[in-house]
Structure 1
Amino acid sequence: MTDIRIITLAGALALGAFGTPAVGHEAYDGKGAYFLDTSEIEWSEVGSMAPPAKIAVLEGNPGKEEPFTFRLLLPAGYEIDPHDHPAYERVTVISGTLYFAHGEEFDRDAATALPAGSYAVLPPEAPMYGYVEEETVIQVHGTGPWGIDYLHPEHDPRR
């Protein structure tokens, strides 16, 4: 019989790069099936992004050498300052529209609109930035260790 667990996500602790998942009564161990109803997702502050962005780690720990999946809730008008990542970033737009671009300096005119359902793969250490006009949820998945490095230190909320 297949091992099936329904997990209640109790939130994510903003530690290190993006966070460590904090789950309810038991943690998903990477075996068997895993189901998470959207009504159970709880959002937490993102230590590596300026408020009021929120994060929900759905699987794994982005700071460890393992698969991970998390969602970011970006409020209307939110800007993602120029940054890069040490590993591939795979992004699916769940709702809203993400405007995303490569480059070291923020330039709205250079951004590409990625509406709900869009998918992007971005290589390691490639400078990028983005913004949203409406509340937008994106899902990021990959294999850690993963993190974010801002190109301009004054943009890093961890400082």
Structure 2
Amino acid sequence: MTAVDVEKNDRFKKMRASQTLIMHTTSRKGFARLEAEMGKIKAYSKNVTSPNKHSLKDDGVARVLGPECRGRVRGLGFGATPSKLNALVHNHSLQTQLQELRNEINELHALFQMKNKSIEEEDNLSLLKNQVNIACGTPSRFVMIFLAYAD
């Protein structure tokens, strides 16, 4: 390569680099139309509380921009389909239920351990009473007071 070619190459590199800084993301619509649609979507999202928050047909985007083509999901890229999205939502709800059940099992397990511990303490106390009665024949007044406080 000659010096002229290197200079030309560098100049075109700079031009390409400056072109990639400005991203063109408005598609076929102008900024004014996009801004108006986004305003409608925000207004709709504030006013509506839908019973099914994961519905693709009732969200603000679908209401403002219209229904999507069959088998497509707007904003999720290539390969996303409504059936896959519904499966993910259903899977998420099942995982939430599973976590709630695990928490409940842990609480019941802790309660069971507390009950089991109190039963063991009662058994130990009754065993101690029996041993005192056997050793002394008739318990002394001191032993009776001790056992009364132990209960």
Aligning the two structures, in what range does the TM-score lie when normalised by the shorter sequence?
Answer: under 0.3
Higher relative contact order structure (alpha carbons within 8 Å, sequence separation ≥ 6):
1
Instruction: Return the TM-score normalized by structure 2.
Output: 0.19
Higher Cα Rg, which structure: 2
Q: Which has the higher helix share?
A: 2
